[in-house]
Amino acid sequence: MNEPLQLISDFQPSANLMQFIEISILTLLLVVSIAMLRMRRLFGVVMLSGIYSFLSALFFVALDAVDVAFTEAAVGAGISTILMLSAMLLTARREKPFVPGHAFLALLVCVVVGGALVYATFDAPLYGDPMAPANAYVGQAYVDRMAVEISMPNIVTGVLASYRGYDTMGETAVIFTAALGVMLLLGLGSERGGRVVSDVPPEPEASPSSDSTAQNSTAQNSTGQKSPAPTANSPIGREDAP
């Protein structure tokens, strides 16, 4: 109980097995991200982004962030992949072939920004340093006070809901607002008939199609699911909700 203090004065990073695991996961992340950049089939890109999320969840577990890993695996790899798949179904399956016109400028921007960031890492606190400013003062104070003030074994939950309650409330409000935004954006019909438009080739934008649009939408409103556009080919069995 009254052991002498454990003073960590000069931090020496040591290579251990855990660090090699982390390094290999990070390398895999980089490989997956480059594959995502190069792939043109959006289905493959979305699947790779799911893999990317799982890999980063694995990395978070290796770095003791179990709550974050949990969330990343559920949200990033689950919900996010589903949403991107359905959005891909509604937009395009395939990216247009890449034209290397302004690629040089983009590459230049990335190299300059990346170089500046790499230069900055030589002043950054070392990986795993317990005396880094982020770890030593504020973070450790939460750990020290948690047992007495909140009495909650999971420090992350305690900080999330009690110490940073305002923050979490704002984030809940952001999620609420995002859901409202999606409802407003996708809950209404589009100009060209909206939810009952089927696999007809898109009309050119410049052609005056306002009359047919009006007819189409009135037909949709009056006849409901018996609208002329067939919906039988829908991958998910669905008909218009009134």
Partner 1 sequence: MWDIILERYNYWIVIALMMVGLYTVISRGNLVKTLIGLNLFQTSVFVLYISMGKIMGGTAPIFTEEDYDKRLKEGLADDQWTHLTFRPEGAHHEVSGHETSGHETSGRETSGQEMGAADHGGDLATGNDLHQSDMMAGNALDVSASSEVTTNSISNGIISHDAPIDMAQSSSLGLQSVADTIEVYQPLPRIVSPLADVIYSNPLPHVLILTAIVVGVATTAVGLALAVRIREAYGTIEEDELEAADAIAEFGTPSFPHETSAKGAA
Partner 2 sequence: MMDHLILRVMIKLFFAPILLFALYVQFHGDYGPGGGFQAGVIFASAFILFALGFGLRTTQKAVPPSVLPYFMVTGLLLYAGTGVVTLFLGGNFLDYYVLAPNSHHNAGQHMGIFLVELGVGMAVFSSMLTIFYYFAGREPEISDEDW
List residues near partner 2 by CB under 8 A. Answer: 66-67, 69-71, 74-75, 78-79, 82-83, 86-87, 89-94, 149-154, 156-158, 160-162, 165-166, 168-169, 172-173, 175-176, 178-179, 182-183, 186-187, 195-202, 231, 234-239, 241
Q: Is residue 229 near partner 1 by the rule CB under 8 A?
A: no
Residues 14-53 that bind partner 1 (CB under 8 A): 14-15, 19, 22-23, 26-27, 29-30, 33-34, 36-37, 42, 45-46, 49, 52-53
For partner 2, the closer of residues 118 and 236 by Cβ is 236
CA 182 vs CA 58, 75, 83, 192: distances in Å: 31, 17, 12, 19
Minimum separation from the CB atom of position 227 to partner 1 (A):
16
SS3 state of residue 41: strand
Amino acid (one-letter) located at 97: P
3 vs 203: CA distance, rounded Å? 79
For partner 1, the closer of residues 109 and 214 by Cβ is 109
Minimum separation from the CB atom of position 226 to partner 1 (A):
22
Q: Which residue has the tokens 């003062």?
A: 137
118 vs 110: CA distance, rounded Å? 12
Are residues 204 and 222 in contact, defined by beta-carbon separation less than 8 angstroms? no
Amino acid (one-letter) located at 119: Y
Q: Could you tell me the two tokens for 78?
A: 């689950």
Tell me which of partner 1, partner 2, none is bound by residue 136, counting a contact when its beta carbon lies within the kind-specific cut-off of 5 to 8 angstroms: partner 1
